[in-house]
Amino acid sequence: MQSFFEQRTPRLDTSSPSVRHLQDLIRSRSLVHIEMSGGQTLTGQIKWQDHQFIALQPDPTLPLVLVNRERVALLRSLG
């Protein structure tokens, strides 16, 4: 039983086509191009996703960049 102080986040809806597509990109380790709503662009490999963020690794030597899902205007596979 869940306590009052413990808040569990809902699970990702894996029946959603967008969630399944991102999972496919993660499994295949594809490079992606992300355009943000403000015009900024990012390129890298998606490592994981949750309800709020997509973790993008721009380069293996750099730390992960957390991208707010609500700010993504376009996400395209490069491979």
Cα-only R_g, the chain: 14
* CATH class as words, domain 17-77: mainly beta
Q: What is the mean pLDDT of the chain?
A: 91
Would you list the domain boundaries of the chain?
17-77
Give dist(CA 55, CA 48) in Å, integer. 5
Of the candidates 24, 21, 67, 23, the residue with the CA atom closest to the CA atom of residue 44 = 67
In this predicted structure, what is the pLDDT of residue 13?
Answer: 82
Q: Is the full-model pTM beyond 0.85?
A: no
In this predicted structure, what is the pLDDT of residue 10?
Answer: 72
Q: What is the pLDDT of residues 33-54, one digit of tens each?
A: 999 999 999 999 999 999 899 9
